[in-house]
Structure formats: C-alpha cells, structure tokens
C-alpha cells in the first residue's frame, strides 16, 4: 500500500487530472460509492480530503490497507468536489490503475513537503 499525505497546497495539475479522470468515467465519490467499489475490488487509488473527519480517515485507511489500495490525503472537500464537478467530496476513488499511477506521479512531482510511506 502506498500512503501519501500532503502538507502543502496542491497544484492545479492535480485537480485538472482528477477532472479528466471524472470525464473518463473512472471516478467514484462519496462514502457509499467508494465503499461499494472497494468491496467490488475496483478502487485502485483512494483520495481522502484533509478536512475529512478523523474517524472517516481511520476507517478508510484501514479499508485501503486491508485491500492493498494506494491512498493520498490531500486537498479539502470543496476543492476535490469542484475538481470532479460535484459538491463537497471527502472521499474519491479512482477505478483505473494507469490513471491512479499518473495522479500519484503528478502528486509526487508537485510535492514540496509532505510525507510518503510505502
């Protein structure tokens, strides 16, 4: 499992690529949608907003660890929702492995601070 946590302002390219993933139909968002796709084994990358509650973070980090899903904790609910053309979103799941890898690369490229754990 890859676990990445941002402690800096995310670059526009991160949100732009996330929007592209949404347009391609490879994004699921919200607790119910993400949970259903985790159960089905479809989520390749889980993005958790920094301002999501501690209990939700803990629960989904545990699910990600148990299902070997990469995790990025970055942005806030408003910015993540705006990126995919929706309202506030605390959880976003990417369903395509190549898009997930590219988003992780964008995240790493723009990372000035923060933490990465593999």
Nearest to 103, CA basis, from 51, 29, 44: 44
Q: Contact 30/92 with Cβ under 8 angstroms? A: no
Question: Quick one: pLDDT band at residue 1, thresholds 50, 70, 90?
Answer: low
Q: What pLDDT, on the 0 to 100 scale, is given for residue 112?
A: 54
Give the pTM.
0.85
Domains of the chain in sequence order: 3-117 (3.30.1330.30)
Does residue 92 register a pLDDT over 70? yes
The arithmetic mean of pLDDT across residues 58-65, rounded, is 95
- CA dist 100 to 45, 53, 54, 55, 113, Å? 6, 24, 24, 25, 21
């Amino acid at each position: 499992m890859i676990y990445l946590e941002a402690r800096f302002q995310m670059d526009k390219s991160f949100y732009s690529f996330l929007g592209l993933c949404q347009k391609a139909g490879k994004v699921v968002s919200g607790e119910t949608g993400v949970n259903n796709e985790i159960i089905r084994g479809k989520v390749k990358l889980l993005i958790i907003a920094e301002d999501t509650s501690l209990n939700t973070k803990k629960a989904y980090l545990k699910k990600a660890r148990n299902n070997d899903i990469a995790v990025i904790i970055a942005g806030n609910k408003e910015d993540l929702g705006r990126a995919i053309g929706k309202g506030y979103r605390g959880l976003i799941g990417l369903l395509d492995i190549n898009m997930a890898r590219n988003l992780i690369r964008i995240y790493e490229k723009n990372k000035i601070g923060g933490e990465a754990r593999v």
